Homo-oligomer: A and B are copies of this chain.
Amino acid sequence: MNMAAGDSPLRNVRIVLVRPIYGGNIGSVCRVMANMGLCDLVTVAPKNIRIEEAETMACWAQDILASRREVPSLEEAVKDCAWALGATARPGLYRQHCRTPREWAPRVLAAASANRVALVFGPEDSGLSNDDLERCTHVARIPSSPEYPSLNLSHAVAVFAYEIYAASGQFEPPAERTPEATGELRERMFDFWRRALLNIGFMDEEKAQHMMLGLRRVFSRGPLTVDDVNILMGVARQTLWCAREMIKCRQRLAALGEDFPPHRIANEETPG
């Protein structure tokens, strides 16, 4: 299963893990690569990796784990790449020019449209060394708390891959199924609510405008689709029906001389 779309620049984005220690992290990296449309993984001189831990964490991205390349040096890992963008959380000389993943993402994609590009991550315990950073053409720093800046390796890859994927514009957010309701439809709905609230005795004519303003405010906090308004109108219509039924029943009971609580609901409509 190749996760990247046919001609997407994502196909040219390589993840390079330098001297990784934990198999679980390598597997987690495979999974999030698949989540974010990447498929090219290279590990540099991994040490005694527990492959079964990697397989467990890779879940449905076993193909990325299986097809990863193992090379002895970072130089070898990036020799066919135009960019080698190193991720580091440590401040220091030559790290002053680093940008955030969000700032780099569009430029990484632009470069990846014609060239191979490597995102380079260091070992879990120490991050990229100065020797590693010398092999990088660019440096990035993920925003994180100064009190605990160092992310888990697979989280660092996740944030980076997510930024690249988000910038690629491949994600289609779920579309609204129905368009937003028009003013006319909303007014019809509010009219039903007004009549329903009067008939159930929630408010009287005098308070109606004030109460309806409150209700309009509640229902205008976010966009309302045609579906939303139809649901709300259905509730009000049925409430109105129920109120009218109650009024008819009361009138019938009164005509029969039955004993029931005598208070009258304010502003009841004549049942239709």
Contact = CB atoms under 8 A, between A and B. Distances in A.
Given A145-B3, A145-B165, A147-B3, A28 B152 contact: yes
A115 B239 CA distance: 34
Interface stretch (A67-75, A91-99, A188-196, A254-262): A91-99
Contacts of A150: 35
Interface string A56-79: 010111000000000000000000
A176 B99 CA distance: 11
A173 B99 contact: yes
Contact of A96 (B59, B102, B175): B175
Contact of A144 (B102, B147, B159, B171): B171
Nearest to A144: B35
Given A98-B174, A143-B166, A171-B143, A3 B148 contact: yes
A36 interface: yes
Interface string A168-179: 001101111100
B174 A91 contact: yes
A32 interface: yes
A141 interface: yes
A162 interface: yes
Interface in A113-171: 141-145, 147-152, 154-155, 158-159, 162, 165-166, 170-171
A124 to B, nearest CB: 10
Contact of A148 (B34, B95, B98, B144): B34
Query: A28, A98, A143 — which one has the most chain B CB atoms within 10 A of its CB?
Result: A143
A244 interface: no
Interface string A14-55: 000000000010001001101111000000000000000000
Contacts of A96: 174-177
B35 A155 contact: yes
A187 to B, nearest CB: 22
Contacts of A213: none
A218 interface: no
Contacts of A174: 91, 95-96, 98, 141
A35 B171 contact: no
22 contacts: A1-B147, A1-B148, A3-B145, A3-B148, A24-B24, A28-B152, A28-B155, A31-B155, A32-B152, A34-B148, A35-B150, A35-B151, A96-B177, A100-B173, A141-B173, A141-B174, A142-B162, A144-B165, A144-B171, A154-B155, A158-B159, A159-B159
Given A34-B148, A152-B154, 4 more contacts: A28-B155, A32-B152, A143-B165, A162-B162
